Chain A
């Protein structure tokens, strides 16, 4: 039966009334900064030198950035870092999560203890590991030499520094994956495992054909979150390597922050932030679409 016209319009007004504060807040908090960012990216402008004014640059900032070899190096490093971190964290996190879903004595204490690195500030973790990885008196090299291995100059050479940064990020954030994985694994009905056992499925078969597929949506969300987080990693590197040696451990986010708040090239920093935003949004959209398809299945 069709609703009377007056009733429908009152309902629509009510919806608008309820939604408008949130929409206005979102516009103010998200749309306005993004529009400003895009606007600034087409201008040459320094927030430090307001007297110089703002001049139209068109695509100049984008052209400058995309032809700068240094920026591409930062993208390559960020890509390597994201790949290493997300791969290690997913593998380790799923393994740890799988072990923690089992019931055993001391499980709760172990679970809490494993979450501790995640609760540290990345800057604190960066400084902490910087000293632990000191080539001469760091505890890591002390342990290595204890088992007859040579000392490694972790932070003064590019390749070890990349690996060291990935290990530190993995140390911090594997617990996050483990936390979500444990929740996902525990959400799988026990009856499914019982059915698999009755059918004579091996533990490996059960893990790969039952546990992983059934917890895939949650693990996929964890993957997306870690991917985005690793992509915009900045604070860890400030304390850990300062971006060096050279610029070999500078992420794109590091470059954005430096260009914006150290150089005060506000227009150029805005353009770089827009590029970064497009990449992260594009990546997130692909993954979210994949997640939706997964849900439909």
Chain B
């Protein structure tokens, strides 16, 4: 008794049930690996030009039913244009968009079974929260009773029951975001489009809302397409992510694959923190396309990675390794012939959960290693100016051919 922590209430005293109940446990979901699965949305050779500028360039993409799909990329990469074409605000210059197998080109936005949550929320300032949520339902000429019931259900879903009579300018940012979500969900769209939905929220609220979004998507069984430039957000919420650059998709994969097996320098660099060095292939242990070790010469240092070989000896490639996979130690590792470098601690970034060590190698190059702060030591054993060894296993490294 008398513990000063609040989790006591959540877990309950004397074996009482947890205060917060969660839905059914999520199952593994991967229709994209099933060759017989029919895509729910299909972008087919889509090109969109605005004058001389090509926003989307001959892009093909399949999205499956009930998927939480992210379009991720820097601003101007064409992700918002792609979403707006699905909503019907822009028409593709070339190619077509299929929704459940039907071409939706030329269908105006007010007849499409998609709804969008806008980046600015676009709440109607002259209507109450209630009226905002009811707006879409009124357009469908649903009976009054049904509209009221649906609005109540939505208000409950986003926990805003007591704010029904408020106008949008009487709400905080987080509340507005929920109203926008409720309004776009009210019509039970086949696809919900979310344009940078959490961009205007502060970090803590954003993280909470990410999990709420996932819950709502899972409970309602809808297909969500989200546009974001925030890689953490995309990683957290998505089933799959499409990383875009200048109108084309660079990689489509699950968050784990994108992070652990990026297919290019661009993706590796865009997602998370990574050390990347240029080098040439010195030796391959297996034939092209087969798994095996690839050894790279990076200006005198020898790095190797265990992966499917995509290069031949002499190719110019990049070698990459994530900082958290690099071990930092004052002692020399047993094998220093490969994936081991020696240097001096140049800077330390203390992030609370992690510390990032920036190590200056003897040839002047810089590598980063991250270490989880598992103990509550305030004084770290490794500090500025220390000589250290960085090492990592074969399967931690990556050889990037493009």
State whether these chains interact.
no
**Which residues of A line the B interface, CB within 8 A?**
none
**Which residues of B line the A interface, CB within 8 A?**
none
